[in-house]
Amino acid sequence: MDQDYYSVLGVQRTADPETIKAAYRKLAKEHHPDRHNGCSEREAQFKAISEAYECLKDPQKRAAYDRFGKAAFHNGGGGGDPFGGAGGFESFSDIFSSIFGEFADRQHGRQNPARGADLRYDLELSLEDAFAGTEANISIEALAQCENCEGRGCNAEDCAKTCGTCGGAGRVRAQQGFFMVERGCPTCRGSGEVIADPCHACEGEGRSLKRRKLSVKIPAGVDEGTRIRVAGEGEAGVRNGPGGDLYIFVHMKRHPIYAREGTTLVAECPVTFTTAALGGTISLPGIDGNSIDLKIPAGIQSGEQLRQRGSGMSVLNGRGRGDLVARVLVETPTKLNSKQKKILEEFRETETGDECPASKGFFSRIRDKL
C-alpha cells in the first residue's frame, strides 16, 4: 500500500507549510538521483517525495487528501477505500464540492441535501492487538436515518413542496448598500423544498439520535495516533443526504514489559552482576506468544543492548516485523549474607584492575590530574 504523504516527508499531520517546505528541501537534496549516479531506488524515493510535496503544499489539495486520502485524486472510482468507503471522484472539483459542501447545484438551481457531520472515536488497544490486528466492536451515538419516515422527513412518500421563499433555488438575495448579497434560504435551509407534513419522530429532518454498534477491522501494525477512516459511518445527512465519515483514532495501552519505538520493541532487563560477569541466558515472552531466549555474553555492561531481529512489531500496511531489543541493566546486590561477603572480599583481594578496564582507565586519568 502507498505510504502516507506525511510519513514520506517525515512531518506531523498538523505541520505548517514552512515545516513541510523545509522537510521537502532537505529530503529532495538528500535523495536527488544526480547525487547517487542515477540509482533507481533513490530516483523512486525522490519521485515519492516530490509527489507528496506537490499535494501538501497546495491548501486545497491538502484538505482533500486529509479527508479522503489518495482516493481523492483517483478518477472514475479506481481508488477504493480499504475500509469499505466509496471509490474515487469524477473530477477534482467534485472533491472540493464534497469538502466545502455549500456549493449550489447550478443545473437544478438548488443545493444538494446537507451532508452529515464526520465523527471521531478514540479506540484504546493493547500492544498484542496492535501487533496482530483485530476486529474492534464499537458503539457510537449519532444522528441516523429516521426509521419512522425512512429519512424522507415527512409521513407521506411525496410531501415535499417547493419553497415559497426562494422559489426552489435554495438561496435568497438581499440588498446591502451598493451590494447584492446572496445567502442560504432561511425557510428551507438551502434545500429548495419544505415539508408539508413533517415526521413527528424527527421533526422533518429525516434523522434522529440513535446508538448503534459497528465492527471495524484494525490492521496489524497500528500505533499511537494512527487514524482509520470508515466511509459513510458518520452522522446521517438531512433527508437522505450523504452521510459523514467516522474517524477512529488509535491509542495504545501501557505494556508491562515492552516500550514501543516505531516497529521496535524495547524491554529493560535487570540481570545479576554474577550473570553479567559469567554470562547466561534470559527469556522474554514474545509479542506473538512465542518465548524468546537471548544469550548474555560474559562481561556485558549495564546499558548494553541485545537485539533479536524480526521479533518486534508488525509493519503497518507492509511486510515483515521490526526488532526486539533487550536493554541490560546490571543489578548490584543490596543484601549479602556473611558467606557472600567473604567470597567477594576474597575476590577483591585478587583484583588486578584488568578485570574492569574502563574503571582502571578512569581512575588513572584522575591520578594524572592530581
Residues annotated within the binding site for Zn(2+) are 146, 149, 163, 166, 185, 188, 199, 202
209 phi-psi bin (left φ>0, alpha ψ -120 to 50, beta other): beta
Alpha helices in the chain (DSSP H): 5-9, 17-31, 40-56, 59-68, 92-100, 127-132, 273-278, 338-350, 357-369
Yes or no: say if 233 and 239 are a contact pair by the CB < 8 Å rule: no
Looking at residue 353, the DSSP 8-state letter turns out to be S
Binding residues: 146, 149, 163, 166, 185, 188, 199, 202
C-alpha 13/C-alpha 275 separation (Å) is 46
- Give the HSE-up count for residue 38: Cα atoms under 13 Å, Cβ half-sphere: 0
What is the Cα 187 distance to its own chain's centre?
41
DSSP string, 96-118: HHHHH---EETTTTEEPPPPPPP
